[in-house]
Amino acid sequence: MKNLVLACVVALASCPMAMAGDIAISTQAGWFSQEAADREAQEIVDNVTAVAVELFAADQQDALADWVVAHTGDGVADLLILCGQFPNSIYPAGNAQPDGSIAELFLDDGNIIVNTGDYMFYVCSAGNNGDAGLGNMMDIDGIGMWDNDDPTVVVTADGLALTPSLAESFYANRPFHLDELEGAWFAELILAQNAAGTRADPVIVANAETGGRLGIFYQTAGKDDEPRGEVISEWINNWYLTAGEVVNPGFPALNPSPADGAVDVVMPLFEWEAGWGAAMHEVYFGDSPDTLTLKTETPALMYFH
């Protein structure tokens, strides 16, 4: 009998991020109330103190455009946060300028745009862009954010470590379609995803050629009570401000299968999600959750973690 050993070499896309810069929040709300958007934006201002955070209301879109232009070409990775509306001042409504808009130049300069609320780049009070808004910004024809292919997402080890306020699972109405990324785009940081790994929210995707990044956080319908400000603040403080360099916080493995407390499991295939930054795995078996050992030879009730 021969043991087959497989050596697998995986090439992972990478995209070093420039030093964090300034942050702007366009507070005009889409798909959740303006009151909630203002509250969550202020929460980000209160929680993020290491860099400047400026708020721009719906009647300050020209000033927002000035901010975006001033922060294009400054050599750092500035961050623009949208609340479900894509302002006409930085991307002309109805896809009137599909290429070369202020927003696209900002993105292609290695900066970051994240969105919470309605479908990213779809909605504009001056006239919607539809699916084409996202496609034009990413230069990917046909990419969408509809809630097909089981968009119920579960927090990942990265999500647990970096954004502890993130819900364990939720229905992502407008998730990123990871299986539709093309060209230089790749999923850089997945905080919650569906079982198939094809839908994610929150998630950061990056362009390996330009250094630009897009992210979504709670693109959900009409939910004013979701912790948008908390989660975005945690992501900013624990990832964006450190240019993606995170000290391993030592979170354990999670999402075991069979599930915690399962009984009468016959010949199970043990699976789990690795703890954040895990370099190795140890699995312990036993007939009591308080006295687990490395293995057992008795085919009886067993616990593992």
Report yes or no: 303 and 286 within 8 Å, Cβ to Cβ: yes
Q: What's the rounded Cα separation, in Å, for the pair 128 and 21?
A: 30
* CA 135 from centroid of its chain's CA atoms: 18
For 108, the enclosing helix (H) or strand (E) is helix 102-108
49: helix, strand or coil: coil
For 133, the enclosing helix (H) or strand (E) is helix 131-138
pLDDT surpasses 60 at 43: yes
Report yes or no: 199 and 216 within 8 Å, Cβ to Cβ: no
pLDDT surpasses 60 at 297: no
80 or 289: which leads in pLDDT:
80
73 or 298: which leads in pLDDT:
73
Confidence at residue 195, expressed as pLDDT on a 0 to 100 scale: 96
Confidence at residue 84, expressed as pLDDT on a 0 to 100 scale: 98
244 or 253: which leads in pLDDT:
244
Q: What is the mean pLDDT of residues 55-71?
A: 98
Confidence at residue 51, expressed as pLDDT on a 0 to 100 scale: 95
pLDDT surpasses 60 at 247: no
pLDDT surpasses 80 at 136: yes
Dump the DSSP string for 219-284: --SS-TTS-HHHHHHHHHHHTGGGTT---------EEEESPTT--S--S---EEEPPTT-------
CA dihedral 108, 113, 117, 123 (to 10 degrees): -30
- The pTM score is 0.80
- Give strand pairing partners of 265: none
Q: What's the rounded Cα separation, in Å, for the pair 258 and 69?
A: 52
Residue 68: left if φ>0, alpha if ψ -120 to 50, beta else—which one? alpha
Q: What's the rounded Cα separation, in Å, for the pair 111 and 68?
A: 10
Closest CA to 122 of 87, 80, 97, 151: 87
Report yes or no: 296 and 302 within 8 Å, Cβ to Cβ: yes
pLDDT surpasses 80 at 38: yes
- What's the pLDDT tens digit per position in 150-204? 899 999 999 999 999 999 999 999 999 999 999 999 999 999 999 999 999 999 9
Dihedral of alpha carbons 156, 47, 229, 199, sign? negative
As a whole number of Å, the CA-based R_g of the chain is 22
pLDDT surpasses 70 at 118: yes
Q: List the domains of the chain with CATH numbers.
A: 20-242 (3.40.50), 250-305 (no CATH)
Give the type of residue at 304.
Answer: F
At 292, phi and psi to the nearest 5? -80, 140
Confidence at residue 295, expressed as pLDDT on a 0 to 100 scale: 47
Which range scores top for mean pLDDT: 2-11, 13-22, 168-177? 168-177
- Count CB neighbours of 43 within 10 A: 16
pLDDT surpasses 60 at 88: yes
